[in-house]
Amino acid sequence: MTDWVQFDESVYQILVSELGKEDALEVLRTFLDDTSGKFGTLAAKFEDRLELRREAHSIKSSSATFGFSALSRLSRELEVGSATMEPAQMLEMVHKMQRSFDQSAVFAAANLLKSGSSVA
């Protein structure tokens, strides 16, 4: 895994133990589908810092639930910094989050969502 994908399997396994494997996979699919569409919205939200902070908070919390710690950390940085960051800094953070999300989605597809995966 790269620095863009930091996956904490123990966090994901807690979710699996609470929901069951199939429900955890369904929630993961929903997270991946919903989150993939948020980055265009984030890139356009620099005038509405409250909305930007809300979106970053949502991604932070959701990614932490699945054990994607790099994405959660980057999202937290944007959430906390959104009040004081310059637009160029916020855009850079959105791009970092997008890269982390994209690589996390590839990781999830290869290791969690495919049948017979030992991680899930």
What is the residue whose two structure tokens read 């863009």?
A: 4
Q: Is the pLDDT of residue 111 over 80?
A: yes
* Residue 50, in any domain of the structure: yes
Task: Work out the mean pLDDT of the chain and round it to a whole number.
Answer: 90
Q: Sort 20 into a burial class: Cβ within 10 Å, 0-12 / 13-18 / 19+.
A: exposed
Domain of 27 in residue numbering reads as: 9-113
* Residue 40, in any domain of the structure: yes
pLDDT tens across 63-86, in order?
999 999 999 999 999 999 999 999
Number of C-beta neighbours around residue 87 at 10 A: 10
- In the chain, how many domains are there? 1
Q: Is the pLDDT of residue 1 over 50?
A: no
* Residue 2, in any domain of the structure: no
* Residue 29, in any domain of the structure: yes
* Residue 71, in any domain of the structure: yes
Check residues 2 and 44 and name the one with the higher pLDDT. 44
Decide: 49 and 82 in contact? Cβ < 8 Å: yes
* Residue 30, in any domain of the structure: yes
pLDDT tens across 56-66, in order?
999 999 999 99
* Residue 120, in any domain of the structure: no
* Residue 104, in any domain of the structure: yes
User: What local confidence, expressed as pLDDT, does residue 41 receive?
Assistant: 82
pLDDT tens across 91-101, in order?
999 999 999 99
